[in-house]
Structure 1
Amino acid sequence: MRDPPRPCRGQILEDIVGFIDDHLMPLVDEGLGNSAYLLDLGDGRALAVDASRDLRALRAVARRRGLTVAYAADTHLHADFLSGAVQLAYDTGASVLASAAGVRAFPHQDLADGDEVDLGGLRLRVLATPGHTDEHLSFLLLDDGRELGVFTGGSLIVDSAARTDLLGADRTEELARAQYRSLRRLATLPDATAVWPTHGAGSFCSAPPGAERTTTIGAQKQTNPLLAAPDEDTFVERLVASLGSYPAYFARLTEANRRGPAVLAGTPPLPALDAGQVKAMLADGGQVVDVRPAAEFAAGHIPGALSIPLRDQFATWLGWLLPDTTPLVFVAGDGQDLAEVVWQAYKIGYERLSGHLAGGMSAWLEAGHPQTTTAFVTADQTPDGPYLDVRQETEYAAGHVRGALHLELGDLAGRAGDAPAGVVVACGHGERAMTAASLLERAGHTGVTVLDGGPADYAAAHGTKLDATEGGAR
């Protein structure tokens, strides 16, 4: 008797795509540039992969589909956010799946290379893929032995691989060589295997720009320049050359995730404070963070306040510019969501949130306290003085105003003295530039102007040109 015909490659790919569309829900954090995943196991249970401590979106999807999270898998000890696995274990009794080599200090199922986890029909096979971290795992999803997809965390990502310098400069090359071997191992999976990375565009864990957040093994063989490297040395050279700066808080969260974040009972409170309480907190070493849009901050703000507009990237700049030990009080505008402030802070381990100014700036002024204003103008209104670009190195290299001074925003607090007097501060649109101006003002600078726009606007208004740094754009 003949064996039944084997399905063709196209049919296999179609079946996998259909399964993914029906069962897998990516949950994208646009600010951190990461994706978590919720996998519907088909029996009312779900698997969560690399879930953040901010579980609002995951819970909403699970609730809508009638799912209970039964498994919470972490591919590695994250540096850019606190894991939600401990919270899921508390909330739903989820079994935490994680590397034995991570030596986590909370209950979890220790996993090592080659282990398999029965999800009730579907299975996860553990692949050790060190490089981004020492204990990094990838999770290969199997259906009756067929490879459906692989959760690659910070190993193979779309057209790149995650950075290898988070454990120190002295280990960067060693881990890059481990990353080479891990990517080569993943590349041996069938071409139709879906690739579900955690780090994507916008992540400071070294993802290139681009809209795609998932891919396939076959596609990466065609487009990933690291997989195209002819040998290990070339791979290491390319990967290390792509490494830019990253937020200061990354140095703290790996250990915090190893210990396990504290369990939370709902959204942590953000008490209302009157103007007198805010003034007293400032006198006692606290910091005001003004989350209003840049234009509102410019029109009037508490002297010494740090401007970090509440948007997707709020957590990144909070964690980059302030220590987690400083008591924080927030100034918000009408209609801004204070719960969003709280969750963005808590997902990166910032818990010393003293409160928010009740009544906003109106209450501050009514109490007789002074305010500071900052010039925020369009390109045709900016003076011809020195121009400070605070964008990331790759952005600056891709195109900048001729003669511009360049200091990344993340470095500016420690180098405020390098900024000349009467400077025009600029970024891509104005938000980071306003943050930079608030840092400069706090350091004693006066007469700072912020460009409401980007380098192309300035160049056109001032009759100058944009320069690019050779080899700088990635």
Structure 2
Amino acid sequence: MFFKSFFNEQLAQMSYLVGCQKTGEAIVIDPLRDLTPYFKTAEQEGLKITQVTETHIHADFASGLREMVNAGAKGFVSGHGGKDWSYKEVEAETVMDGDIIKVGNVKLQVMHTPGHTPESISFLLYDNGSEVPMGIFTGDFIFVGDVGRPDLLEEAAGIKDTTEIGAREMFNSLRKVDELPDYIQIWPGHGAGSACGKSLGAVPVTTLGYERQNSWAFQYDDERAFIKALTADQPEPPTYFSEMKRINRDGFELMHNDLVVPAEQIEGHTIDLRDKEVFAENMSRGINIPYNKKFLSFTGWYLDYSQDLQLIGDFETVQQAAHDLKMIGFDKVKTYIPDAAGPAYPQIEPTDFKELDYSAINILDVRTQKEWNESHIEEAEHLHFGKLMQEEIPFNQEEKIYVHCQSGVRSAIAMSVLNQKGFNNIVNIKRGYEAIK
């Protein structure tokens, strides 16, 4: 058997290729839209990708299932979940709990493991006719040190009263895997950095026995206590998650590798990819989201899937950023500007800020709810940086506002968003709350 995992750092997402070396067949599990790494690996190993499947309808990235089916692979999708979570516009066979997908002498046995989503399935992997499974592809069911969050259908997709139902299903799904032996390897759908859980580990693989001993989720025998623990302190889901659920379920245009061309001037919805230090000295009319490993998770808060997008940055960075945006189903990057001149925005050193009378000034904390709950400046107002565009700012435009996050990255984004909304008397607190403390 051939086995290879693929990790996308931007999305903290894992996908897998499993092949039978005797027959030359292979299957891909949970693919991204860019199929290049899968086909490249298959060719190197003398394999042909004949099948493709996924564990559930994803909320955090655009699935490559349809691209792979279009390339000739036979698709398999979950038949669980009911009408609202049935796949549309895809030629694929539905599978149910207990069904077998054969890949030469390798087989995947379907296990229905709802909780993260109603249709969620896992795949037990058997090699070369063995009667015992080697491991399980869990998708967003079991992670290293955590389990999938049950609230995305309600928080991101807007389907009311589904969080507790999902949490109860997660509790029962964990009881279901109690039948499996400790040595079973767990190959999860995400690693640390994903918003699909609250405490995901950075190790790429674990075992069921290890998780039974060490993961918080396996320590509860009481259902109500488990539900309370699972639903508490989940990170805020980026707004693009709701769009992902829709397009992954209903289908969308296949990915094209179009070149992003230069434009004469800044116009329309714009993301500025330059480092925050560069942007601070040359503020453009774009939202400043530097191109780094957090790019997609930050940008996802501000995308409008109905509008074209312009980028500011050098040619190579722009082309790569546009490619990465396609991994979350956004294909509307049309033009870019290599550079942009503008005024510097005001900043203050933490030592100088601490000499001010907090009760006499306006302070805006743009960190997450969890960070705010752990510790904050009593006189500050709180609004998550990703919600600044949609929600009302708790100050008047003409008032002077001091803005901070935890370390200075998200407050730089906030400065650009506030500037777009007409707040021009704003001051960034360098290095954020960590430095203030």
CA gap 1:255/1:228 in 2 versus in 1, 3 angstroms: same
Q: Hey, what does 1:310 align to over in structure 2?
A: 291
1:31-82 per-residue CA deviation (whole Å, 9 max, x = no partner) reads: 3222112224324443221111133444454454444322221100111111
Q: More helix per residue: 1 or 2?
A: 1
Give the equivalent residue in structure 1 for 2:187. Answer: 196
In structure 2, the partner of 1:252 is 243
Aligned counterpart, 1:152: 138
* Contact 2:146/2:200, CA 8 A, preserved across alignment: no
Partner of 1:351: 331
After superposition, the C-alpha distances for 1:203-248 in whole angstroms (9 at most, x for unaligned) are 1112414322321110111112222112211111111114332011
Query: Unaligned regions of 5+ residues in structure 2, if any?
Result: 81-85, 155-159
1:314-463 mapped onto 2 (5 Å cutoff): 314-333=295-314, 336-357=316-337, 359-361=338-340, 371-376=342-347, 378-380=349-351, 382=353, 384=356, 386-401=362-377, 403-419=379-395, 421-459=399-437
CA distance in 2, matches of 1:377, 1:71: 56
Q: Percent identity?
A: 29
CA spacing shift, 1:214–1:141, aligned 2, 3 Å: same
Matches within 5 A, 1:75-94: 75-91=55-71, 93-94=72-73
Q: Which residue does 2:148 correspond to in 1?
A: 162
Within 2, Cα distance between the matches of 1:404 and 1:66?
A: 60
- Structure 1 position 29 matched with structure 2 position 15: no
Mapped to 1, the partners of 2:45 and 2:395 lie a distance apart of: 53
Q: Which amino acid aligns with 2:215?
A: N
CA contact (8 A) 1:157 1:207 kept: no
**Which residue in the other structure is 1:296 paired with?**
278
Residue equivalent to 2:170: 179
- Cα contact 2:112–2:121 (8 A) shared by 1: yes
Shift of 1:90: 2.3
> C-alpha deviations, 1:301-353, integer Å up to 9, x for none?
33x311111112222222212321122111104x6422221122212122222
Partner of 1:74: 54
Q: Which consecutive aligned stretches of 4+ in structure 1 deviate over 6 angstroms post-superposition?
A: none
Q: State how far apart, in whole Å, the 1-side matches of 2:251 and 2:79 are.
A: 15
SS at match of 1:227: helix
Query: Partners in 2 of 1:382 and 1:103 — Cα distance?
Result: 53
Q: Given the alignment of the two structures, is residue 131 of structure 1 paired with residue 106 of structure 2, yes or no?
A: no
Deviations 1:429-464 (A, max 9, x none): 3221111111111111123222342422222xxxxx
Q: Per the alignment, in what secondary structure is the counterpart of residue 161 of structure 2?
A: helix
- Give the Cα separation in 1 of the matches to 2:346 and 2:13: 35
What secondary structure does 1:324 align onto? coil
TM-score, normalised to structure 1, is 0.82
TM-score (norm 2): 0.88
Give the aligned partner of residue 38 of structure 1: 17
| Contact kept in structure 2, 1:162 and 1:199, CA below 8 Å | no
Structure 1 residues without counterparts, runs of 5 or longer: 1-18, 366-370, 460-474
Q: Which amino acid aligns with 1:445?
A: F
8 A contact 2:187–2:206 mirrored in 1: yes
For 2:39 and 2:431, how far apart are their aligned partners in 1? 37
Aligned length: 417
Name the aligned partner's letter for residue 390 of structure 1. Answer: V
Pair 406,59 (structure 1): closer, same or farther in 2 beyond 3 Å: farther
Q: Which amino acid aligns with 1:274?
A: E
Instruction: Report which stretch shifted further, 206-215 or 246-255.
Output: 206-215
**1:240–1:337: structure 2 CA closer, same or farther, 3 Å change rule?**
same
Give the aligned residue type for 2:253: A
